């Protein structure tokens, strides 16, 4: 695994925030029979993976269609990630993405979208693809690794909730939020530096 691939996998894992989504998964699947929970989580993670992979592979075409530059995507992605990171560091009762609906069996919403394949994750995969098109295969592998780890964490949601408790989950999410804050600022600064450099020319 190259340093670029590892960095991309870590970034995607932080953005998807599986540990922060554990309480949301527990709340969403509280009314679902235990035997069905793991199958639902795997299905929703697979759907989210397909969605993110589609945006990664079609990212450049999507940007060209909307006449968006890499710099605008980097700045927008940095701002979104920063806001998500702040909500991770200072958690709210409704969670990072808002309160999910309780009961029933979810289908795409809210587990696949927006809990896993949310706006920040979509912006991040598009940014990874547009920033270095020559390494799109590495970015896809990084996404696969991040989603595999996300699936494992979410599949163990109820067990993790029991082991770590509410305080433990909050502490873990705050730690991940702190790291994501630094990554968001770096992404934002990279976009601003590139934009200023274009103006200088």
pLDDT at 7 over 80: yes
pLDDT tens sequence across 154-171: 999 999 989 988 788 778
Say which residues have a Cβ less than 8 Å from residue 60's Cβ, sequence separation at least 6: 129, 130, 133
Q: Which of 3-17, 63-77, 116-130 has the highest mean pLDDT?
A: 3-17
Higher pLDDT, 187 or 39: 39
**Rounded CA separation 31/39 (Å):** 15
Task: Note the residue count of the chain.
Answer: 201
SS3 of 55, please? helix
HSE-up (13 A, CA, CB side) for residue 23: 21
């Amino acid at each position: 695994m190259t340093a670029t691939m590892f960095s991309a996998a870590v970034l995607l894992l932080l953005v998807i925030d599986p540990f922060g989504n554990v309480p949301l998964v527990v709340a969403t699947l509280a009314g679902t029979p235990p035997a069905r929970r793991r199958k639902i989580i795997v299905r929703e993670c697979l759907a989210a993976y397909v969605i993110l992979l589609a945006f990664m592979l079609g990212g450049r075409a999507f940007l060209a269609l909307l006449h968006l530059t890499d710099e605008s995507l980097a700045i927008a992605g940095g701002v979104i990630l920063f806001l998500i990171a702040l909500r991770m560091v200072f958690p709210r009762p409704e969670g990072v993405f808002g309160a999910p609906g309780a009961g029933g069996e979810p289908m795409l919403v809210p587990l696949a979208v927006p809990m896993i394949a949310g706006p920040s994750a979509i912006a991040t995969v598009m940014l990874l693809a547009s920033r270095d098109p020559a390494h799109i295969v590495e970015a896809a592998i990084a996404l696969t690794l991040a989603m595999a780890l996300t699936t494992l964490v979410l599949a163990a949601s109820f067990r993790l909730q029991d082991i770590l408790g509410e305080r433990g989950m909050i502490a873990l999410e705050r730690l991940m939020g702190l790291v994501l804050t630094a990554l968001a600022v770096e992404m934002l600064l990279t976009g601003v530096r590139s934009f200023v450099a274009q103006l200088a020319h």
